Amino acid sequence: MTKYFNEKVALVTGSSSPRGLGRAIVNRIAEEGSKIVIVDLKQDDVEKAAKEVSSQYNIEALGISCDVTKATDCENLISEVKKKFGRLDFLVNNAGVLKDNLLMRMSESDWDLVLDVNLKGVFLMTKSASKLILKSPTGRIVNISSVSGLTGQPAQANYSSSKAGVIALTKVSAREFAGRGVTVNAICPGYIQTDMTGSLPEEIQKKLQEMVPLKKLATPNDVAGAVKFFLGEDAGYITGTALRVDGGAAIGM
Ligand SMILES: NC(=O)c1ccc[n+]([C@@H]2O[C@H](COP(=O)([O-])OP(=O)(O)OC[C@H]3O[C@@H](n4cnc5c(N)ncnc54)[C@H](O)[C@@H]3O)[C@@H](O)[C@H]2O)c1
């Protein structure tokens, strides 16, 4: 536990599932003593997650349901955070969905859903949180993108486009908020072992592992460590970057 994290309030979207990246990020911040706002679609899930995190790490944790694609949900969420804690220091835009299909077969509704959650959701959350986070002496925003947004993946026209958009949005917000000392960075994970990838057939998961020089998929904790670095004191002079956390996939075999 450090003084730096101890006095801060952190909000992580898409963080109610115990197996997801969002919860791993929450755990990494909570163990440092920050107060936590757990955000996800269902009220029951966020309340349960907040109770678990609060008792495990002995910190204040609040669960608030919010659909990040809805502007009024995002605004109400930030009003509640302001009422409860009076401040917001860390925002992690992690909520995301996949709806893979070849471009020729991809429905317009699957395109819209993925762009709405993964890209518009980051815009709406950042916009709603900006007033409060700009007042923090050490405001930090971390956006979860993907290597898919850097390279483009077959069957992911919607997902790759949304995650590339997140990198551009990261750079724009980094420039706009720099004057107030708020940093904004993106993380581009390769494949992580979560529910999102657990549904892939076993032979595909094995193939993916073979493609990574470190010969394993990332755990949620591997990626959460990079998020904690960007939120921490040592990353104060880093903004507008997109960091790959991909087991060396970028350098190839
Ligand atoms: N799993 C991977 O291999 C991988 C790789 C690269 C990037 N990512 C990114 O990491 C992030 C977390 O992924 P994960 O693997 O933990 O997936 P996950 O499906 O376990 O978690 C995503 C969370 O987002 C929530 N969510 C979905 N729509 C929402 C909405 N409209 N409003 C609020 N919350 C919503 C879900 O309920 C869920 O809890 C995502 O942005 C994903 O694109 C994942």
Tens digits of residue pLDDT in 106-159: 999 999 999 999 999 999 999 999 999 999 999 999 999 999 999 999 999 999
Residue 214 pLDDT exceeds 70: yes
Residue identifier of the C-alpha nearest atom 25 of ligand 1: 14
Q: What is the pLDDT of residues 34-61, one digit of tens each?
A: 999 999 999 999 999 999 999 999 999 9
pLDDT score for 34: 98
Catalytic (active-site) positions: 159
Quick count: other Cβ atoms within 10 Å of Cβ 243?
A: 17
CB 208 within 8 A of CB 177: no
Predicted TM-score of the model (pTM): 0.98
Centre of ligand 1 to C-alpha 65, Å, is: 15
pLDDT score for 147: 96
CB of 13 closer than 6 angstroms to any ligand 1 atom? yes
Report, as an integer, the average pLDDT of 239-243: 98
pLDDT score for 102: 97
pLDDT score for 101: 96
Residue identifier of the C-alpha nearest atom 5 of ligand 1: 191
The domain spans of the chain are 3-244
CB of 195 closer than 6 angstroms to any ligand 1 atom? yes
pLDDT score for 1: 72
CB of 17 closer than 6 angstroms to any ligand 1 atom? yes
CATH no. of 3-244: 3.40.50.720
Mean pLDDT across the chain: 96
Report, as an integer, the average pLDDT of 92-106: 97
Residue identifier of the C-alpha nearest atom 8 of ligand 1: 146
Q: Is 222 helix (H, G, I), strand (E, B) or coil?
A: helix
| Range list of β-strands (E), the chain | 9-13, 35-40, 61-65, 90-93, 140-144, 183-189, 242-245
- Least confident segment among 110-124, 161-175, 195-209: 195-209
Max Cα distance, the chain (Å):
53
CB 123 within 8 A of CB 130: no
